[in-house]
C-alpha cells in the first residue's frame, strides 16, 4: 500500500471539525496551566470560538463527495454532520451558561470546559463512528467525561451522589453494551465495521437467531441509557437534580443527540434482519417513556427534576420518528432534536439564571416572578410552552412533524398516545407558567420578594444573557420560519447513502407485504 | 387583504406587550388597543362591503407557500360561512376591550392577550388549510387560560386549568382526525382543496367524523362535554366571558359545519339523526339547568349551552334554510350573549352581587339601574326568541328549516325555547322588578361609557330583528352550495316508504 493510497483511505480531512475541537481543548488546558485563574475571564470565549469554528468546518463538509474515512471506521455523511452540529452547538451554549455558574461554585472554569469539550468530542465522534471499537471508544469518552462533569461541584454532596449513581449505572450499561458488541463481532465472523458485520451476519446465515436477538437487546440497553428511555431512565431524575445545571443542559441535548445518532447508525446498518424486532422494542420504550415521563413529571416539585422527567418524555416522542423508519420519520427526529436544543437550552438558561440570583430551583419559589424579572419569565414561559407543543413555537412544529411522520408510517396508536401525553405535558409545563405569571403580588414567594436587582454587567452574566436571548428568539421563530431547518433535516436524511438503502428496503418489504395481503 | 385581520391585532399585541413603559403609560394602553380593534373592525366592515354574496366559493383568497414537508400552506379565504363570524369576532373584541375595567391590573398583558386572541380567531375562521386552522385554533389556548386565571373571579385557578385541559383534549381530537383524513385521502397537502374524502370507506369516514364531532363538541360545547363551560364563563371577567361565549363557541360550531359537514357529507347523513336528537337534548338540558341556577351569570352561561343546541339541530337537518338559520343563530347568539354578559358585568360592578336572592328592584327609576335593567329585559327577550329581535329570526329559520327533516327534535327545541323564556322571566323578575332594599341600595351611577357597548349591541339586535335580510343574505349562496354536496337522505327514506 503506497503512501498516496493510504492518505486517500485515511481521508483525515473529514474529522477537521473534531480536530478544531481537540486543538481548542488543548489550548484551554495549556492556557490555564500557564496563566492560572486569571485566564478565566476569556477562556470561555476561546472555547466558544473553537466550537463555532468547528461548526463552520462542518458546514463546509456538507455533501462531501467522499465521506468514508479512516478505512471505513468513520463516516462524515450528512447525517453525522447534522448530529455533530447539534452536539457542538449544545456545547457552545452550555459554555455560555456555565461561565458564571462554575465561577460561583468556586471551581476552576478551564478544567470544566476541558472536560466538557472532551465530552463534546466523544459525542461528535460517536455520531460518525461506524466501527465497533470506534463506537465504544467515543461512547466511553462521552460517558467518562459526563461522570466527571456530574460530580464537578465536589463540595456538594448531592453532586457527589449523582456522580456515583451515574457512574455505577453508566459503567454497567456500557458493559452490557460491550457484551452485545462483542457478540456481534463473534456472530459476524470477526468483523468490526458496521457494513461488514451486516454482510457477515447475512452470509453466516444465522438469520434471526437467538444470538442476534441477544446482541440487539444488549445494544439497546446501552443506547436506551444514553437517550434515557424508560426503563433505562432511573439515573435521569437523580442526576439531573444533583449535577451542576449547565451539565444537565448538555446531557439533555448533546448527550441525547449522540445517543440517537448512535441508535440510527447502529440499528439500521447492523440489524436489518431483526428490524421488526428492534422497532417493536423501541415501540415499547417509546410508550413507556411517554407515559412514565409525562405522568411522573406531574408530581415534581423541583424544577430540575421536572425537566428530567420531561426529557424522558421528549425522548419518547423522538422515538416515534425512529420507529416509523421512513425518510420523513428520520427527518422529523433530526428536526425535533434541533428545536429541542433551542427549547431545552433556553429553559435551562432561565433555571440557571434564577438559581444564580436566588440560590434555589424549587417550582414553588418561582411564584410572582413576572414582577421582578420579566425577561426571565418570558423566556422560561416560551421555552416551556414550546416543550409542551403550543403553536406557533418551535416545539409545535417539531411535534406535528413527528406525529405526521408517525401517522404516515401507520403508527396510529403511538401517535394517539403521543397526542394524549402531550395534553398531560401541557398541564405540568403550564404549572410553572402559572407560578410565574398568574400569581398575585401578595402571593410572591420569599425568594422572589428578596429578588436582587437585575444587573447584566456582573462578570459572566453577559454570555448568559446572550445565550438566553439567542435561544429564546430561536425557540420563538424556528417554527414559523422553519423551512431552512426542515430542508436541512430532510437533506441530511436523503443525502445519506446508508439510510437510503434501509428506507428503500423497508418500503419494498412493506410494498410486497401489502401486495401479498391484497392477493390473499 | 385578509391577512390584515390576523396580523394587525397580533403584531400590535406583541408591540403593546413589549412597549417600554415610558413611551406609552399603562393608562393609555386601553386607548391604544381600542384604536387597533377599531381599525380591525372598520377593515372587517370594508371587507363585508366588498363581499360578493352571489358567489358560493371562497373570496379574497391569499396564498403563500409555507412548509411543503408538512403540507402547511398559508392559504386564506372567506365565504358566507365565515364572513359573519369574522365580523362578530372583531366587533366583540372591540366591545370586550371597551367594556373592560379602566383600572385593570397589568393592562399591558391584558390587552395584548385580547388582541392576540382576536387575531388568532380571525386566522382560524380564514384558514383554508387544515393544519393552519389547527395552528390558529391552538393559539387561543394559552391566552385564554391566562385571561381566565389572572383576571377572573374567586375560583379562577380551577376554572382556568379546567378550560385548558378540555381545550387541549379537543385540540388533540381535532389534530388526530385531521392527520387521519389527510393520510387516508393520500393528499400531500393539508389545503382544503386537496382534501376529498370520496375514496375513504364509509366506516372510516364515520370514525373520523366522530373524532371531529367530539373535538369541536367540547368547544361548542355539547352536553356531556360542557362541564368546563359554567366554570370558565362564570369565573372569567365580563369582557373575557364575552369573548369566550361570543367568539370561541362559534369556533366550535364553525368547525363542525366546515369540517364535519363539509368534509364528510356522506357520513354526515348517517349521524344526522343522532346529532339532531343530541342538539335537542342539549337545548332542553341547558334550559332546565338554567332554571335551577341562582347566579345570573351561571344562568346566562347555561343559556349559551341551550342556544348552541339549536345550531347543532340546524346543522344536522342540513336543509338550505336550516343552514342559513344555523349561521344566523351563531351570529345572533354572539350578539345576545355579549350584551347579556356585559350587562351582568355592569350589574355585578354596581351592585356587588350576582345572586338572585339578593338582587331586587333594579328597575327603580331613581336609585336603581333603570337603563341597564331595561336593556337586560330587552336582551332577555331576544335570547328567549321574542319576535322583532334577532334571536327570534334566527330561531325561527332554524325551526322552519329543521322541521321537515327532524320534526320531533325540532319540537323539543321549540319547547326548550319556551323554557328559555321561563328562566329569563325568573331572572328579570328577581333582578329588575320588586323593591329595592333600603339599607343596601346606594349604587354608583352607571356612566355613559358603560352603556355604549350595550346600546350598540341592542341597536344591532333590534335592527337585525326587524330587517333580517341583513342577517341572512351573506350566507345564503354558500350554505345552499354546501347542502348540494349532502346526499339527499330524506328523499331516499321517503322513497322506501312509498315503495312499501
Residue A515: its pLDDT value, please?
Answer: 63
Q: Encode pLDDT of B230-266 as tens digits.
A: 999 999 999 999 999 888 889 999 999 999 988 888 8
Q: Which residues of A touch B144 (CB under 8 A)?
A: none
Nearest to B165 among A328, A390, A423 (CB): A423
* pLDDT-derived band at B499, boundaries 50, 70, 90: very low
Nearest to A467 by CA among A375, A390, A389, A384: A375
Q: Which residues of B touch A491 (CB under 8 A)?
A: none
Residue B137: its pLDDT value, please?
Answer: 94
The larger pLDDT score, comparing residue B103 to residue B412, is at B412
Hey, which residues 136-155 in chain B have their CB within 8 Å of chain A?
136, 138-139, 141-142, 145-146, 149-150
Residue B23: its pLDDT value, please?
Answer: 72
Residue A510: its pLDDT value, please?
Answer: 63
Hey, which residues 180-199 in chain B have their CB within 8 Å of chain A?
180, 183
Q: Indicate the DSSP class of residue A274.
A: T
How far lies B326's CA from each of A238, B7, B52, B148, B217, in Å?
A: 57, 29, 20, 28, 15
Q: Taking the alpha carbons of A268, A271, A274, A277 in that order, is the dihedral positive or negative?
A: negative
Measure the CA–CA gap between A308 and A239, rounded to whole angstroms: 9
Measure the CA–CA gap between B390 and B398, rounded to whole angstroms: 12
Name the closest residue on chain B to residue A438, using Cα atoms. B150
Q: Answer yes or no: do A427 and B165 touch at CB < 8 A.
A: yes
Residue A183 in contact with residue A214, Cβ under 8 Å? Answer: yes
Residue B114 has pLDDT above 50, yes or no: yes
Residue A498: its pLDDT value, please?
Answer: 73
Q: Encode pLDDT of A105-139 as tens digits.
A: 888 899 999 999 999 999 999 999 999 999 999 99
Q: Answer yes or no: do B180 and A392 touch at CB < 8 A.
A: no
How far lies A512's CA from each of A208, A406, A505, A507, B25, in Å?
A: 20, 20, 10, 8, 69
Listed in sequence order, the DSSP H helices in A130-156 are 132-150
Measure the CA–CA gap between A16 and B32, rounded to whole angstroms: 56
Measure the CA–CA gap between A209 and A220, rounded to whole angstroms: 17
Residue A1: its pLDDT value, please?
Answer: 52
Residue B490 has pLDDT above 60, yes or no: no
* pLDDT-derived band at B38, boundaries 50, 70, 90: very high
How far lies B392's CA from each of B80, B91, B382, B383, in Å?
A: 21, 21, 7, 8
Q: Which residues of A touch B149 (CB under 8 A)?
A: 434, 438
Residue A202: its pLDDT value, please?
Answer: 85
SS3 A233: coil
Segments in chain A below pLDDT 50 = none
Residue A312: its pLDDT value, please?
Answer: 96
Residue A514: its pLDDT value, please?
Answer: 59
SS3 A2: coil
Residue B19 has pLDDT above 90, yes or no: no
Residue A277 Cα, gap to closest chain B Cα (Å): 26
Query: What average pLDDT does this structure show over B283-295?
Result: 93
- Give which of A333, A404, A422 to mutate to test B binding, by max B Cβ within 10 Å: A404
Residue B500: its pLDDT value, please?
Answer: 44
Q: Taking the alpha carbons of A179, A180, A184, A187 in that order, is the dihedral positive or negative?
A: positive
SS3 A362: strand
Q: Which residues of B touch A434 (CB under 8 A)?
A: 149, 157, 160-161
Residue B288: its pLDDT value, please?
Answer: 94
Residue A420 Cα, gap to closest chain B Cα (Å): 7
Residue B353: its pLDDT value, please?
Answer: 87
Nearest to A290 by CA among A439, A406, A119: A406
Q: Taking the alpha carbons of B287, B292, B297, B298 in that order, is the dihedral positive or negative?
A: negative
Residue A513: its pLDDT value, please?
Answer: 59
B141-150 and B107-126 are packed helices; what angle lies between their axes, rounded to 10 degrees? 150
Residue B497: its pLDDT value, please?
Answer: 45
Query: What average pLDDT does this structure show over B126-151?
Result: 93
- Give which of B67, B133, B138 to mutate to test A binding, by max A Cβ within 10 Å: B67
Nearest to B306 by CA among B273, B340, B272: B340
Q: Encode pLDDT of B334-390 as tens digits.
A: 999 999 999 999 998 888 888 888 888 888 888 888 899 999 999 999 999 899 999
Nearest to A403 by CA among A394, A416, A386: A416
HEC per residue, chain B: CCHHHHHHHHHHHHHHHHCCCCCCCHHHHHHHHHHHHHHHHHHHHHHHHHCCCCCCCCEEEEEEEEECCCCEEEEEEECHHHHHHHHHHHHHHHHHHHHCCCCCCCHHHHHHHHHHHHHHHHHHHHECEHHHHHHHHHHCHHHHHHHHHHCCCCCHHHHHHHHHHHHHHHHHHHHHHHHHHHHHHCCCCCEHHHCCCCCCCHHHHHHHHHHHHHHHHHHCCCHHHCCHHHHHHHHCCHHHHHHHHHHHHHHHHHHHHHHHHHHCHHHHHHHHHHHHHHHHHHHHHHHHHHHHCCEHHHHHHHHHHHHHHHHHHHHHHCCHHHHHHHHHHHHHHHHHHHHHHHHHHHHHHHHCCCECCCCCCCCCCCCCCHHHHHHHHHHHHHHHCCCCCHHHHHHHHHHHHHHCCCHHHHHHHHHHHHHHHHHHHHHHHHHCCCCCCCCCCCCCCCCHHHHHHHHHHHHHHHHHHHCCHHHHCCCHHHHHHHHHHCCCHHHHHHHHHHHC
User: How many C-alpha atoms does A440 have within 13 Å on its Cβ side?
Assistant: 9
Nearest to A419 among B69, B149, B172 (CB): B172
Residue A311 Cα, gap to closest chain B Cα (Å): 21
User: Element (H or E) spanning A68, and its range?
Assistant: strand A68-69
Q: Encode pLDDT of A418-455 as tens digits.
A: 999 999 999 999 999 999 999 888 888 888 889 998 88
Q: Indicate the DSSP class of residue A439.
A: S
Nearest to A325 by CA among A385, A369, A383, A283: A283
Residue B494: its pLDDT value, please?
Answer: 44
The mean of the pLDDT values for chain B is 89
Residue B197: its pLDDT value, please?
Answer: 67
Listed in sequence order, the DSSP H helices in A245-368 are 245-250, 256-270, 275-297, 303-324, 327-358
Q: Answer yes or no: do A400 and B131 touch at CB < 8 A.
A: yes
Q: Encode pLDDT of B80-89 as tens digits.
A: 899 999 999 9
Q: pTM for this structure?
A: 0.93
Measure the CA–CA gap between B39 and A269, rounded to whole angstroms: 60
Which value does ipTM take for this structure? Answer: 0.92
Rg (alpha carbons) of chain A, rounded to whole number:
23
Q: Which positions in chain A have a beta carbon within 8 angstroms of at least one beta carbon in chain B?
A: 328, 331, 385, 390-392, 396-397, 400-401, 403-404, 407-408, 412, 415-416, 419-420, 422-423, 426-427, 430, 433-434, 437-438, 482-483, 486, 490
Residue B495 has pLDDT above 90, yes or no: no
Q: Answer yes or no: do B67 and A397 touch at CB < 8 A.
A: yes
Nearest to B149 among A385, A427, A438 (CB): A438
Nearest to A482 among B67, B134, B171 (CB): B67
Measure the CA–CA gap between A171 and B147, rounded to whole angstroms: 50
Residue B205 in contact with residue B264, Cβ under 8 Å? Answer: yes
Longest dimension (CA), chain A: 79
Q: Indicate the DSSP class of residue A69.
A: E
Q: Which residues of B touch A408 (CB under 8 A)?
A: 183
- Give which of A326, A419, A441 to mutate to test B binding, by max B Cβ within 10 Å: A419
Amino acid at each position: 500500500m503506497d503512501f498516496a493510497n493510504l492518505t486517500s483511505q485515511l481521508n483525515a480531512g473529514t474529522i477537521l471539525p473534531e480536530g478544531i475541537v481537540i486543538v481548542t481543548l488543548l489550548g484551554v488546558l495549556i492556557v490555564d496551566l500557564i496563566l492560572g485563574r486569571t485566564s478565566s475571564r476569556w477562556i470561555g470565549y476561546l472555547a466558544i470560538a473553537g466550537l463555532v469554528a468547528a461548526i463552520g468546518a462542518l458546514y463546509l463538509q456538507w455533501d462531501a463527495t467522499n465521506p468514508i474515512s479512516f478505512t471505513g471506521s468513520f463516516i462524515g455523511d450528512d447525517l453525522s454532520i447534522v448530529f455533530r452540529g447539534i452536539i457542538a452547538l449544545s456545547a457552545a451554549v452550555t459554555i455560555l451558561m456555565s461561565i458564571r455558574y462554575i465561577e460561583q461554585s468556586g471551581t476552576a472554569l478551564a478544567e470544566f470546559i476541558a472536560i466538557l469539550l472532551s465530552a463534546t468530542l466523544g459525542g461528535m465522534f460517536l455520531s460518525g463512528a461506524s466501527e465497533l471499537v470506534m463506537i465504544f471508544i467515543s461512547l466511553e469518552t462521552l460517558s467518562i467525561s459526563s461522570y466527571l462533569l456530574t460530580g464537578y461541584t465536589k463540595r456538594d454532596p448531592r453532586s457527589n451522589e449523582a456522580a456515583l449513581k451515574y457512574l455505577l449505572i453508566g459503567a454497567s450499561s456500557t458493559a452490557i453494551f460491550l457484551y452485545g458488541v462483542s457478540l456481534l463481532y463473534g456472530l459476524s465472523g470477526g468483523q468490526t465495521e458496521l457494513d461488514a458485520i451486516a454482510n457477515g451476519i447475512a452470509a453466516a446465515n444465522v438469520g434471526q437467531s437467538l444470538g442476534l436477538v441477544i446482541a440487539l437487546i444488549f445494544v439497546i440497553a446501552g443506547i436506551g441509557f444514553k437517550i434515557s428511555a424508560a426503563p433505562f431512565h432511573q439515573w435521569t431524575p437523580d442526576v439531573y437534580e444533583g449535577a451542576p445545571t449547565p451539565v444537565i443542559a448538555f446531557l439533555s441535548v448533546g448527550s441525547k443527540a449522540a445517543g440517537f445518532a448512535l441508535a440510527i447508525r447502529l440499528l439500521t446498518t447492523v440489524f436489518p434482519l431483526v428490524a421488526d424486532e428492534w422497532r417493536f422494542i423501541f415501540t415499547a420504550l417509546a410508550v413507556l417513556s411517554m407515559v412514565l415521563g409525562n405522568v411522573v413529571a406531574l408530581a415534581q416539585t423541583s424544577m430540575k427534576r421536572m425537566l428530567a422527567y420531561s426529557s424522558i418524555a421528549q425522548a419518547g416522542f423522538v422515538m416515534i420518528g425512529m420507529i416509523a423508519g421512513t425518510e420523513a420519520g428520520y427527518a422529523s427526529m433530526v428536526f425535533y432534536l434541533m428545536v429541542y436544543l433551542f427549547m431545552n437550552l433556553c429553559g435551562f438558561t432561565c433555571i440557571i439564571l434564577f438559581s444564580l440570583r436566588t440560590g434555589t430551583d424549587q417550582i414553588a419559589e418561582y411564584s410572582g416572578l413576572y414582577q421582578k424579572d420579566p425577561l426571565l419569565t418570558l423566556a422560561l414561559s416560551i421555552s416551556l410552552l414550546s416543550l409542551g407543543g403550543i403553536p406557533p413555537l418551535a416545539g409545535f412544529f417539531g411535534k406535528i412533524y413527528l406525529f405526521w411522520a408517525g401517522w404516515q408510517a401507520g403508527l396510529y396508536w403511538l401517535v394517539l398516545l403521543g397526542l394524549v401525553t402531550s395534553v398531560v405535558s401541557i398541564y405540568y409545563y403550564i404549572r410553572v407558567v402559572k407560578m410565574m405569571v398568574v400569581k398575585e403580588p401578595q402571593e410572591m414567594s420569599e425568594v422572589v420578594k428578596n429578588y436582587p436587582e437585575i444587573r447584566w454587567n456582573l462578570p459572566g452574566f453577559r454570555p448568559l444573557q446572550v445565550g438566553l436571548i439567542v435561544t429564546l428568539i430561536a425557540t420563538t421563530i424556528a417554527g414559523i420560519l422553519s423551512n431552512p431547518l426542515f430542508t436541512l433535516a430532510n437533506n441530511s436524511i436523503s443525502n445519506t447513502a446508508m439510510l437510503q438503502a434501509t428506507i428503500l428496503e423497508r418500503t419494498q418489504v412493506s410494498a410486497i407485504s401489502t401486495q401479498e395481503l391484497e392477493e390473499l | 387583504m385578509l391577512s390584515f385581520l390576523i396580523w394587525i391585532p397580533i403584531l400590535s399585541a406583541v408591540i403593546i406587550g413589549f412597549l417600554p413603559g415610558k413611551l406609552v403609560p399603562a393608562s393609555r394602553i386601553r386607548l391604544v388597543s381600542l384604536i387597533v380593534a377599531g381599525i380591525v373592525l372598520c377593515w372587517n366592515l370594508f371587507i363585508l362591503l366588498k363581499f360578493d354574496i352571489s358567489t358560493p366559493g371562497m373570496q379574497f383568497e391569499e396564498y403563500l407557500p409555507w412548509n411543503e414537508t408538512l403540507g402547511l400552506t398559508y392559504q386564506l379565504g372567506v365565504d358566507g360561512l365565515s364572513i359573519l363570524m369574522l365580523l362578530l369576532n372583531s366587533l366583540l373584541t372591540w366591545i370586550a376591550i371597551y367594556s373592560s375595567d379602566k383600572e385593570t391590573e397589568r393592562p399591558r398583558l391584558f390587552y395584548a392577550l385580547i388582541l392576540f386572541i382576536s387575531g388568532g380567531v380571525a386566522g382560524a375562521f380564514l384558514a383554508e388549510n387544515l393544519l393552519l386552522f389547527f395552528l390558529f385554533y391552538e393559539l387561543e389556548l394559552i391566552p385564554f387560560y391566562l385571561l381566565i386565571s389572572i383576571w377572573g373571579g374567586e375560583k379562577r385557578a380551577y376554572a382556568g386549568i379546567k378550560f385548558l385541559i378540555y381545550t387541549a383534549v379537543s385540540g388533540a381530537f381535532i389534530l388526530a382526525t385531521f392527520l387521519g383524513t389527510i393520510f387516508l385521502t393520500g393528499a400531500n397537502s393539508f389545503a382544503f382543496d386537496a382534501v376529498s374524502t370520496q375514496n375513504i370507506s364509509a366506516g372510516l369516514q364515520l370514525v373520523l367524523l366522530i373524532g371531529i364531532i367530539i373535538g369541536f363538541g367540547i368547544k361548542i360545547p355539547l352536553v356531556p362535554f360542557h362541564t368546563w363551560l359554567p366554570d370558565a364563563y362564570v369565573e372569567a371577567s365580563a369582557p373575557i366571558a364575552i369573548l369566550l361565549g361570543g367568539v370561541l363557541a362559534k369556533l366550535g360550531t364553525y368547525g363542525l359545519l366546515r369540517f364535519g359537514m363539509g368534509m364528510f357529507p356522506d357520513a354526515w347523513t348517517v349521524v344526522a339523526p343522532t346529532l339532531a336528537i343530541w342538539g335537542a337534548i342539549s337545548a332542553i338540558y341547558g334550559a332546565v339547568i338554567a332554571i335551577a341556577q341562582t347566579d345570573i351569570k351561571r344562568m346566562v352561561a347555561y343559556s349559551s349551552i341551550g342556544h348552541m343546541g339549536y345550531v347543532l339541530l340546524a346543522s344536522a337537518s342540513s336543509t338550505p334554510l336550516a343552514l342559513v338559520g344555523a349561521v344566523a343563530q351563531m351570529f345572533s347568539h354572539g350578539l345576545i350573549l355579549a350584551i347579556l354578559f356585559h350587562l351582568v358585568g355592569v350589574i355585578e360592578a354596581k351592585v356587588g352581587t350576582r345572586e338572585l336572592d339578593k338582587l331586587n328592584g333594579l328597575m327603580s327609576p331613581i336609585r336603581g339601574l333603570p337603563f341597564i335593567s331595561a336593556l337586560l329585559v330587552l336582551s332577555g327577550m331576544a335570547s328567549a326568541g321574542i319576535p322583532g329581535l334577532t334571536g327570534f329570526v334566527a330561531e325561527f329559520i332554524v325551526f322552519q328549516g329543521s322541521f321537515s327533516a327532524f320534526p320531533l327534535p325540532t319540537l323539543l327545541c321549540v319547547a326548550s325555547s319556551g323554557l328559555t323564556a321561563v328562566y329569563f322571566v325568573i331572572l328579570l323578575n328577581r333582578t329588575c322588578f320588586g323593591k329595592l332594599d333600603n339599607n343596601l341600595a346606594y349604587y354608583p351611577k352607571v356612566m355613559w361609557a358603560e352603556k355604549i357597548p350595550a346600546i350598540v349591541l341592542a341597536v344591532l339586535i333590534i335592527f337585525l330583528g326587524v330587517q333580517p335580510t341583513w342577517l341572512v343574505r351573506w350566507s345564503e349562496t354558500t350554505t345552499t352550495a354546501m347542502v348540494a354536496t349532502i346526499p339527499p337522505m330524506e328523499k331516499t327514506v321517503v322513497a322506501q316508504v312509498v315503495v312499501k
